[in-house]
Amino acid sequence: QVQLVESGGGSVQSGGSLRLSCAASGYTSNFYAMGWFRQAPGKEREGVAAIDSYGSTSYADSVKGRFTISQDNAKNTLYLQMNSLKPEDTAMYYCAAAADKYYGLGYLTRATYNYWGQGTQVTVSS
């Protein structure tokens, strides 16, 4: 049974920073990518950043240069360092893991991922 547990969300002022963590447990050896998604009220869930098993990263245009995704394989933990936060970054942030077969949909595409965490709220005030 795979479990993903996010932490690190909170409330910050515009320009501030937060670091999200996602602890993975269970059968994780077949993960080929992990990612961070976010969903604001009334909006679709969107891909923010992803990292594959080779360490290659992908970012949404809206966060490039401000967010950094990384992972510690020894700890089975995924991170998202978020700097220069803006009010439009306010959303519930979800960790996701992709396992087994890759269908070429892209690592920032929701359909690529099999497992999801419960989310952690990030609120940025102006």
- Give the pLDDT of residue 100: 83
pLDDT at 91 over 90: yes
Q: Which of 25, 31, 47, 28 is nearest to 101 (CA)?
A: 31
What string of H, E and C letters represents the secondary structure of the chain?
CCEEEEECCEEEECCCCEEEEEEEECCCCCEEEEEEEEECCCCCCEEEEEEECCCCEEECCCCCCCEEEEEECCCCEEEEEECCCCHHHCEEEEEEEEECCCCCCCCCCHHHCCEECCCEEEEEEC
- Give the pLDDT of residue 103: 85
pLDDT at 17 over 90: yes
